[in-house]
Structure 1
Amino acid sequence: MYSFDVDYTLGIFPILLKYINITLSLAVISTVIALSIAIIIAIIKTYNIKVLSQLSDLYVSFLRGTPLLVQLFLFYYGLPQIIPFFSAMDAYWACVLGLSLHFSAYMAESIRGSISSIEKGQFEAAYSLGLNKTQTFIYIVLPQSIRVAIPSLMNNFIDLVKSTSLAFTLGVPEIMAKAQLEAASSFKYFESFLAVAIVYWVIVLIFTYLQNKLEIKLNKAY
């Protein structure tokens, strides 16, 4: 009869935590890049810039319509075959590329929706004060839309954190990869994967708490 090994489970946590910096760095770097791309796409789609708007629709449709794992394999194994420049890209940066592009498509829709929620009267008021379209967007629209988009953007970020677990399929030594190695060497699969699940759960709980605090702070003025 199977007996749960409490000591092994407790002992694997320090091992996993040694690799948590890789998981978090993947998440943070990918989020910064994804958010930057998402803002550009949201601007293009909001102002309906010819040609670029159609290309943005295609970009969002492809990245939202195909699995992240397929995209990671495509960028890491497939891309170097047609563009030799990417052959120098290691697994870590291939994961950053895949996560950034994939989640930028979701973040772009969140930001575009939040921009659409801004009342048209605010645009007109800004123009009447002498602001041009760029200034209106930077000083009036973007700050308000980011506040509105924070809940969905934070949900995207939390999904991204959990999606870093797919990095082990490319050989990136993050916490999921280490749990897999520990499970394979000890045959204690339940204990190993339960431990890594708890680590991800705690990370998500921490960021959820920070999200709630941020929302309260940003909504004080409203």
Structure 2
Amino acid sequence: MQNSFDFQYVFELLPTLFRYLGVTMEMALWGFVFALILALGLALVRVFKIPVIQHLAALFISFFRGTPLLVQLFLLYYGLPQISPLFLMDAFTAAVLGLTLHFAAYMAESIRAAILGIDKSQMEACLSIGMTRLQAMKRVILPQASRVATPSLMNYFIDMIKSTSLAFTLGVAEIMAKAQMEASSSFKFFESFLAVAVIYWIIVLFFTRIQHLLEYKLNEAY
């Protein structure tokens, strides 16, 4: 049994894993876009306290924040099709949907907190000059709230990238799934999972840098 660490194997495996990076990033990007749209809707429903719907939004947020992502993925991919064939979906779609619903619940609370953090006098000033609440929200409140919410939203995006690794449990051929297959065939488990860890680390460092530049740009006027 070979116990020595195989550096050459890691370097040879990295290019193979990078070929599957596109699938990982596609899941994360689609998931983030859909989650952001859903989160904004949930946040506005709770901020405006729309009757009935605000309670449904709160229930949605409570469920998806209070249950593990892996359980949610299994419910979507394996559970829902047992209820009706209409819920049948491929593994990639189920993974994106799971990421969307899970992170929308967290992002909604960040957006809501950012909106509520804007001084109420600004909404009152907008209403006093004839704007509707929606116009004031669109033109004045949300642009300021976006600056406040950006750091937490970027953190959720980075977390979403790492969470795509759970998609391999549904059979999605992304970098984690490829690392698992390579480890099983070569029995070099440490080397294989170290290689995939390095890739995730590089991705996170890249987007962390993007986050810092974005925060600096948004704060220039302040």
Q: Assess same fold via TM > 0.5.
A: yes
| Counterpart residue number, 2:113 | 113
CA distance in 2, matches of 1:124, 1:51: 25
Deviation at 1:19, TM superposition (A): 0.3
Q: Which runs of 5+ in 1 are unaligned?
A: none
1:210 aligns with 2:210: yes
TM-score (norm 1): 0.98
| Counterpart residue number, 1:63 | 64
Percent of aligned positions that are identical: 58
1:137-156 pair list within 5 angstroms: 137-156=137-156
Tell me whether 194-203 or 133-142 shows the greater mean CA deviation.
133-142
CA distance in 2, matches of 1:149, 1:16: 33
Deviation track 1:16-71 (CA, whole Å, cap 9, x = no partner) reads 00000000000000000000000000000001111001101110000000000000
Number of equivalences = 221
Segments of 4+ moved more than 6 angstroms: none
Q: Which runs of 5+ in 2 are unaligned?
A: none
Q: Secondary structure at the match of 1:2?
A: coil
CA distance in 2, matches of 1:205, 1:211: 10
1:25 aligns with 2:26: yes
RMSD of aligned Cα (Å) = 0.7
TM-score (norm 2): 0.98
1:64-143 pair list within 5 angstroms: 64-87=65-88, 89-143=89-143
Deviation track 1:59-113 (CA, whole Å, cap 9, x = no partner) reads 00000000000000000000111132121x1000000000000000000000000
| Counterpart residue number, 1:158 | 158
1:208 alignment partner AA? T
CA distance in 1, matches of 2:103, 2:90: 20
| Counterpart residue number, 1:9 | 10
